[in-house]
Chains A and B, each alone.
Chain A
Amino acid sequence: MTTNGAAPQGDVYKQVTEDVLRPMALRGPWWYGGLALTATMVLIGAYSEFLQLHYGMGKAGLMHPMMWAVYITNFVWWIGIAHSGTLISAFLYLFRAPFRAAFSRAAEAMTLIAITTAGMFPLIHLGRAWRAYWLLPYPNERLLWVNFRSPLVLDVFAVTTYFIVSTLFFWLGLVPDVAVVRDRARGWARTAYGLAAVGWEGRDKQWKHYLMAYAILAGLAAPLVVSVHSVVSWDFASALVPGWHSTISAPFFVAGAILSGLAMVLTLLIPMRATMGLKQYVTIDRMDQVAKLTLVMGLVVSYSYFSEYFVTWYSKDGVEITNLMNKVNGTFAWEFWLMTVCNCIAPLAFFFRAARRNIPTLFIVSILINIGMWMERFVIVAGSLSHDYVPYSWAPSGYHIKPVEVGICIGSVGWFGFLFLLFCRFLPVLPIAELKRDILLEEREEHAVEASAALREGHAQPQPEVG
């Protein structure tokens, strides 16, 4: 937001606080309705999971040879979505990208919620989910240990680390804002927000330490953007399944994750800015900038697809080639082509300025990319497995998804939505302190411009620094 010349300085800052905190009080029928809807979805998912636990994994459409399908696809998809949070928070912070503040809080919340959603899927997909704790290396009397060569164990560590760092990052960013909320709250809410604000008073010393800590944490979190999805990609790359066993997997997966994360940010922010009166903060310029980034990542992903197919062709490896052809022109054809259209063609719309600045277009393309990225993971996971070395065991047809899987997918979306709705009403959805700082920096810049002009003209003294 640019300073409103008519309003006094202090009012601008107050206005930011008011604007950002206003939605927290808006708990109308729509919000409760949304909560009820998402809670119902969660219950559907829970019932499906109960059926699966009770009767066995056979309730899902899994079969030989497609032993992984929807659940692992969901896992990778949600982890991918979880990417943009750290990307926007950490990378953009370190690069001092100007449009960060408009997105960072929502993106971080999305990250956190997406990780909790993703984290459920490795457990849901286990044949014996009640033994999931065996995946953790804990000391026990039987001296049983986990297998550190297994990418799944690496996954446990990568995802846990990412979750912890993202939580810290989210919380640390929230501290000054939560303090504001605390100051306005009463009763138990004041206590709760007070705990979260850990005694923040906005003193200079606190700010100094805070900014230092935030920068360090950003520096620590940035590599995780690359590492988490690289590790997830090793679930596939280190196996010898054709279509999985590929050294390009890590960068390819990271690029895909960023693309899907950006798309999800658009998907969430477009309704948020419309319904919460945040249009003056999440401006169309900011959307344009995210769309440009989405376009770049779409091109990177398309290039990754191309290079993978090229290498497959170039290898002359019959197994790899038949595996790919089964996706292009076989039992996974419609999934494959849906993926291609959504991920490679749809983002090309963002070459046009008009598309980047048109909210419906942005929304539709973001949804298409979300679908396309799910399909990509599905084609990689189930499609590759369906057609490997032994012709006897090829899957005779595509994957037949079963009701429990649909139920669990619905449940996961509901879970994500439920938590996000809570976030929208219980925490400031934009970083107040950061928005104010941006205003300050802009002002300072204006002052500097004015001052230098005055200096050049030689009839003004340099202004003292604004603290």
Chain B
Amino acid sequence: MNRRHFLKVAGVSTAAAAAQGCSTRRGPDKVIAYPASSETNKPGISTEFATVCRECPAGCGLIAIARDGRAIKVDGNPDHPINAGKLCLRGQSSLQGLYNPDRLRGPLARDEHGRLAPISWEEAEKRLDASLGSLNGKSVAWIGQVETGAFDRLTDAWLAAVAPSSTRIRYETYAYEPLRAAAGAMLGQAVIPRFRIDEARTLICFGADFLETWLSNVEYARQFGEWRRARTEGKHHGRYVFIGPRLSLTGANADEWIAVRPGAEEIVARALSLLAAAKGRVPAEAASLAESAGVPVETLSRLAREFASGPSLALPPGSAQDGPRAVAVHEAVLRLNQAVGNVGRTVLVDAPHALSTASRHQETMSLVSDMREGKFGALFVHRANPVYALPPSAGFAEALKSVPEVISFSSYPDETTALATLVLPDHTPLESWGEYSPRSGVNGLMQPAVAPVFDTRATGDVLLASAARAGHNLGAAEFREYLRKEHGGDDAAWAALLQLGGAFSEPAPTPARAAAPLSAPSGPAPVPVAPADGRLVLHIYPSLHFYDGRTANRPWAQEIPDPMAKAVWGSWAEIHPDAAKRFGVQDGDVMALETAAGRIEAPALLTDRVVSGVVAIQRGQGHTNLGRFADGIGVNPLALLPAVVEPASGALVVSGGDVAVRKLAVRRPPVVLQTSMKQVGAAIARAVTVAQLAWTRRKGGLNGEGGEEEGPLRGRKNPSLYANAQHPKHHWGMAIDLDTCLGCNACVASCYAENNVPVVGREGCSRGREMSWLRIENYTEEGASGLLRIQAKKPADTGPRTNLTRFFPMLCQQCDNAPCEYVCPVDATVHSSEGLNMQVYNRCVGTRYCSNNCPYKVRRFNFFPPAFEPPLDQQLNPEVTVRSKGVMEKCTFCIQRIEAGKVQAKAEGRPVRDGEIRTACQNACPTDAIVFGDLKDENSRAAQLAKGARGYGALEELNTLPNVTYLARVRAE
């Protein structure tokens, strides 16, 4: 052993000792014996576990990154066919589900005072056996989410074993019943079809929020990204037209928004079918339909021509539009697809979505009436929260009182669990074994990434043990074993399956069906809903952040601003300025909304992103019993819904009812983080039309009027006394494609998780102290009326309009001539030789001068010590410092990932490969809009993209020499 080697070894062991010494976090977990490191737990080294995201029924594949026994990050599983490595905000927030401070820490049962009090698992099992033993021949009800595979079968087997009879509800808030019913009528199979956006050219969406919650938002966002990218590359000239009463995030990504009143979607769909079938002529019926929908027939005729001309796709309305004629609308849309031969090409019934098995609303309602009649001796609730997710008028909470034993398996204290008599908390998905198959051919396997954080038990284990105690052998003692047996095969195959994250195969191609002759629509065309005087039509839409409300107790979901309203921590009612004028309402005034079923109060948010007859409220807030971050925040608009169902499918009617609106003498403006949606002066988010793009390509860049230099260094002349930044080895940079940025906030959530960004709460946000390192700015193009908080002269109501929304991810631009750097008196922010603008937290004294001088306003100051309520602190990334009060922080392109990549490359004795280092935001982005790389390497993807004709630097006229290049959005004319 020579001296150098000795030092190396010593260095390593000291570092290891230091790492242990540094670990000051305390939790209820066991101390890990470092010498006994296993394959899945090497001290200080991250282990990746492939599993499945169960935050919604989409079933994306997850890679959970665990280190020293803690899950610190989740990313998408690149091998999973649904999400291909991408992950949305809700999926990112699963970490805060795992480490949620409000999680149930062990079993609970009603004590003599009627309160839920902690008990031991032995006691809990006795209580469970007792309640099963005292059924007296009564039936058992099980209400749980849609499950597939082992747990699905186990539930059935257990119910059959322990109960004389049982009813099982596969409860899903968004069960897409009208779509299933319409598919049954039109396509012959009452299932949820698969849609191929990426195979289409012209895209018409009748309101489905396919970039937010609809069916499988990451999958469709990916496809949509492909569609946009192909168009920008000139592979097609399709347009995407959004039709609906409210411009959702999904709509904001359209080229054109045809604003219609609620209920007019069906009329437009019918008109389009007629026009498409008429091949250029304008049938009289189509003209009258267009008139009744308030849309010029020329617009529809042009759209129908485009739609019929090639592979196209019409997407149905979303869950927000489940009105009294929901099935008819869906049928009209499917008929439109049929008319041009899309079925079998872009609308596929080859692999029905798992949601097709969800119980229908009618089944739930008959369960409720059975409960009320006392038919059940016990009700089991597993990963469902019907008390919250059903309108109060459904009477679920009341019916629960007629069930003697309500046993909840919930991991969280939700509204249903609050009414339970016995709570046997399940692990959260990241601690669980399981499987989920969102559609045939895709079966994701779940494995625990961490040991259970609390004294919870897998429900599968509880069921198996309970059956065993009752003398039934269901095939295994533990659920893990049960799952393993279901899959068979040897251990190596099983390990390989777990490593991959499941078994995946593409469904066999089915032949495309020929364009069917236009079938006659059922019944006469409806008339659009027009509200009576003093009333507005209610539009309740699903939430990108909260889905149906289940993720509302996660700080990230609350604190990251809503993509459209840019509001946080609350509810708001969107109304059109014309309607606001009618009711004398100003921005921020609280309005009382009232129906026969109930009354809510919400502050008005004036926007021309809804038509004037509508008041739109997001679902998912207004919890009473979900935890500290959700309770008392906002309102639940479901309180307004009467128990009305759609006649054809039996689905709950969510939209189309009207509400009485009254202005209250209270002002409580929602906390909106974006002050202005209009760009003044400098065009920060730029766009080009297709024609301009061709011109710009010839000219060589957006700014270069024939400039010689191209790409990231284009026009970089820095007249300065000081030496220009030198980049001897690497020059890290980023290219952000505004064309494929959907504004979905996935990157923001990923950044929060990766970089230990603290959450400041409603109070902090209202005082402009949010800490987000990366934000999505939402601008409207020059010339358009501002879309939010506007004083527009006369915003249009219904009819077609060019959609001028632009999303702009703003993060530290890592300027090579950084204004923040020269003003810092203590050199706490300095430039690295690799082009990074680094922040030295422990040198920072907090003059905040750097933030003042940052034109992008991306620096964040710790006004207070950061708060990570235990056990949320267990999620903190040990690679990133937790900043103390009084220091500045900001994005550094995930410098910890850069360093890890460099170390890896060095250890392997090779240069860093392009694409090997990925920032957290890049990893999450469903459309690959963010590309990080080495600009020094001419062939890196980032450098290639930055060189493109659409590239420009934000505010580059300030000579900041940013290392982030934005690629202008492309607009169809």
Residues of chain B within 8 A of A134, CB atoms compared: 826, 843, 845
Chain B, residues 800-844, CB within 8 Å of chain A (1/0): the string is 000000000010000000010011111100000000000000011
Nearest-neighbour CB distance to chain A for B545, whole angstroms, equals 19
Chain B, residues 668-680, CB within 8 Å of chain A (1/0): the string is 0000111111111
Check B955 against A385 for contact (C-beta < 8 Å): no
Interface centre among B768, B827, B887 (most CB of A within 10 A): B768
Give B45-69 interface residues, CB cut-off 8 Å to A. none
Interface pick from B381-389, B417-425, B694-702, B860-868: B860-868
- 11 CB-based A-B contacts, threshold 8 Å: A56-B863, A63-B767, A67-B852, A125-B848, A239-B819, A239-B853, A318-B681, A390-B855, A391-B675, A391-B677, A392-B676
Check A150 against B849 for contact (C-beta < 8 Å): yes
Nearest-neighbour CB distance to chain A for B754, whole angstroms, equals 21
Check B679 against A391 for contact (C-beta < 8 Å): yes
Nearest-neighbour CB distance to chain B for A325, whole angstroms, equals 10
Check A150 against B851 for contact (C-beta < 8 Å): no
Check A68 against B827 for contact (C-beta < 8 Å): no
Check A57 against B863 for contact (C-beta < 8 Å): yes
Q: How far is the CA of A392 from the CA of B776 in the complex (A)?
A: 9
Check A240 against B855 for contact (C-beta < 8 Å): yes
In the complex with contacts A64-B860, A319-B680, A238-B887 CB distance below 8 A: no
In this assembly, does A367 line the interface, its C-beta being within 8 Å of a C-beta of chain B?
A: no
Closest residue of chain B to A132, judged by CB? Answer: B845
In this assembly, does A206 line the interface, its C-beta being within 8 Å of a C-beta of chain B?
A: no
In this assembly, does A55 line the interface, its C-beta being within 8 Å of a C-beta of chain B?
A: yes
Q: How far is the CA of A64 from the CA of B675 in the complex (A)?
A: 12
Q: How far is the CA of A424 from the CA of B873 in the complex (A)?
A: 57
Residues of chain A within 8 A of B897, CB atoms compared: none
Check B777 against A390 for contact (C-beta < 8 Å): yes
Closest residue of chain B to A393, judged by CB? Answer: B857
Give A136-181 interface residues, CB cut-off 8 Å to B. 144-147, 149-153, 156
Residues of chain B within 8 A of A319, CB atoms compared: 680-682
Check A389 against B955 for contact (C-beta < 8 Å): yes
Chain A, residues 381-403, CB within 8 Å of chain B (1/0): the string is 00001001111111110001000
Check A58 against B769 for contact (C-beta < 8 Å): yes
Nearest-neighbour CB distance to chain B for A70, whole angstroms, equals 13
Interface centre among B825, B851, B863 (most CB of A within 10 A): B825
Interface of B is mostly: loop
In this assembly, does A241 line the interface, its C-beta being within 8 Å of a C-beta of chain B?
A: yes
Check A147 against B779 for contact (C-beta < 8 Å): no
Check B847 against A391 for contact (C-beta < 8 Å): no
In this assembly, does A317 line the interface, its C-beta being within 8 Å of a C-beta of chain B?
A: yes
Nearest-neighbour CB distance to chain A for B859, whole angstroms, equals 8
Closest residue of chain B to A142, judged by CB? Answer: B843
Chain B, residues 526-547, CB within 8 Å of chain A (1/0): the string is 0000000000000000000000
Instruction: Please pick, from B677, B822, B865, B886, the residue contacting A149 in the complex, using a CB distance under 8 A.
Output: B822
Check B855 against A150 for contact (C-beta < 8 Å): no
Q: How far is the CA of A66 from the CA of B958 in the complex (A)?
A: 20
In this assembly, does B885 line the interface, its C-beta being within 8 Å of a C-beta of chain A?
A: yes
In the complex with contacts A58-B863, A127-B885, A128-B844, A146-B855 CB distance below 8 A: no
Check B769 against A318 for contact (C-beta < 8 Å): no
Q: How far is the CA of A57 from the CA of B860 in the complex (A)?
A: 13
In this assembly, does A126 line the interface, its C-beta being within 8 Å of a C-beta of chain B?
A: yes
Interface size on B, residues (CB 8 A): 54
In this assembly, does A65 line the interface, its C-beta being within 8 Å of a C-beta of chain B?
A: yes
Check B825 against A153 for contact (C-beta < 8 Å): yes
In the complex with contacts A58-B769, A127-B886, A147-B827, A391-B678 CB distance below 8 A: yes
Check A147 against B824 for contact (C-beta < 8 Å): yes
Residues of chain B within 8 A of A238, CB atoms compared: 823
In this assembly, does B146 line the interface, its C-beta being within 8 Å of a C-beta of chain A?
A: no
Closest residue of chain A to B674, judged by CB? Answer: A392
In this assembly, does A135 line the interface, its C-beta being within 8 Å of a C-beta of chain B?
A: yes
Check A56 against B865 for contact (C-beta < 8 Å): yes
| In the complex, the 8 A-B pairs of residues with the closest C-beta atoms, listed nearest first | A127-B846, A318-B681, A127-B886, A58-B863, A63-B768, A391-B676, A393-B857, A67-B848
In this assembly, does A322 line the interface, its C-beta being within 8 Å of a C-beta of chain B?
A: yes
Seed contacts A67-B851, A128-B887; 7 additional CB < 8 Å A-B pairs = A56-B885, A64-B861, A126-B845, A127-B847, A156-B825, A239-B849, A240-B853
Check A240 against B819 for contact (C-beta < 8 Å): yes
Check A318 against B680 for contact (C-beta < 8 Å): yes
Closest residue of chain B to A153, judged by CB? Answer: B825
In the complex with contacts A127-B848, A239-B853, A385-B852, A152-B823 CB distance below 8 A: yes
Instruction: Please pick, from B684, B764, B863, the residue contacting A390 in the complex, using a CB distance under 8 A.
Output: B684
Q: How far is the CA of A391 from the CA of B680 in the complex (A)?
A: 7
In this assembly, does A62 line the interface, its C-beta being within 8 Å of a C-beta of chain B?
A: yes
Give B722-738 interface residues, CB cut-off 8 Å to A. 722
Residues of chain B within 8 A of A395, CB atoms compared: 675, 768
Check A322 against B681 for contact (C-beta < 8 Å): yes
Check A127 against B845 for contact (C-beta < 8 Å): yes
Instruction: Please pick, from A145, A317, A389, the residue contacting B856 in the complex, using a CB distance under 8 A.
Output: A389
In this assembly, does A131 line the interface, its C-beta being within 8 Å of a C-beta of chain B?
A: yes
Nearest-neighbour CB distance to chain A for B62, whole angstroms, equals 31
Nearest-neighbour CB distance to chain A for B615, whole angstroms, equals 23
Residues of chain A within 8 A of B678, CB atoms compared: 391
Residues of chain B within 8 A of A400, CB atoms compared: 767
Give A91-144 interface residues, CB cut-off 8 Å to B. 122, 125-128, 131-132, 134-135, 144
In this assembly, does B70 line the interface, its C-beta being within 8 Å of a C-beta of chain A?
A: no
Interface centre among A61, A145, A392 (most CB of B within 10 A): A392
In the complex with contacts A56-B863, A67-B848, A150-B822 CB distance below 8 A: yes
Q: How far is the CA of A390 from the CA of B777 in the complex (A)?
A: 9
In this assembly, does B762 line the interface, its C-beta being within 8 Å of a C-beta of chain A?
A: no
Chain B, residues 933-954, CB within 8 Å of chain A (1/0): the string is 0000000000000000000000
In the complex with contacts A150-B825, A390-B857, A64-B845 CB distance below 8 A: no
Check A392 against B675 for contact (C-beta < 8 Å): yes
Residues of chain B within 8 A of A61, CB atoms compared: 767
Closest residue of chain B to A316, judged by CB? Answer: B681
Interface centre among A134, A146, A240 (most CB of B within 10 A): A240
In this assembly, does B228 line the interface, its C-beta being within 8 Å of a C-beta of chain A?
A: no
Interface centre among B680, B826, B852 (most CB of A within 10 A): B852
In this assembly, does B775 line the interface, its C-beta being within 8 Å of a C-beta of chain A?
A: yes
Instruction: Please pick, from B673, B775, B847, B864, the residue contacting A58 in the complex, using a CB distance under 8 A.
Output: B864
Chain B, residues 107-141, CB within 8 Å of chain A (1/0): the string is 00000000000000000000000000000000000
Instruction: Please pick, from B673, B775, B823, B861, the residue contacting A127 in the complex, using a CB distance under 8 A.
Output: B861
Residues of chain A within 8 A of B852, CB atoms compared: 65, 67-68, 239, 241, 385
Closest residue of chain B to A397, judged by CB? Answer: B675
Chain B, residues 753-795, CB within 8 Å of chain A (1/0): the string is 0000000000010011110000101010000000000000000
Nearest-neighbour CB distance to chain A for B881, whole angstroms, equals 15
Closest residue of chain B to A394, judged by CB? Answer: B675
Check A62 against B849 for contact (C-beta < 8 Å): no
Chain B, residues 887-905, CB within 8 Å of chain A (1/0): the string is 1100000000000000000
Residues of chain B within 8 A of A391, CB atoms compared: 674-680, 684, 777, 779
Residues of chain B within 8 A of A122, CB atoms compared: 847
Q: How far is the CA of A147 from the CA of B853 in the complex (A)?
A: 16
Q: How far is the CA of A186 from the CA of B540 in the complex (A)?
A: 87
Nearest-neighbour CB distance to chain A for B733, whole angstroms, equals 20
Residues of chain A within 8 A of B848, CB atoms compared: 62, 67-68, 125, 127
Q: How far is the CA of A64 from the CA of B766 in the complex (A)?
A: 11
Check A64 against B857 for contact (C-beta < 8 Å): yes
Check A392 against B775 for contact (C-beta < 8 Å): yes
Check A56 against B864 for contact (C-beta < 8 Å): yes
Check A127 against B853 for contact (C-beta < 8 Å): no
Instruction: Please pick, from A67, A147, A153, the residue contacting B861 in the complex, using a CB distance under 8 A.
Output: A67
Closest residue of chain A to B683, judged by CB? Answer: A318
Residues of chain A within 8 A of B764, CB atoms compared: 58
Residues of chain A within 8 A of B861, CB atoms compared: 57, 62, 64, 67, 127
Check B825 against A394 for contact (C-beta < 8 Å): no
Residues of chain A within 8 A of B864, CB atoms compared: 55-56, 58
Residues of chain B within 8 A of A56, CB atoms compared: 862-865, 885-886
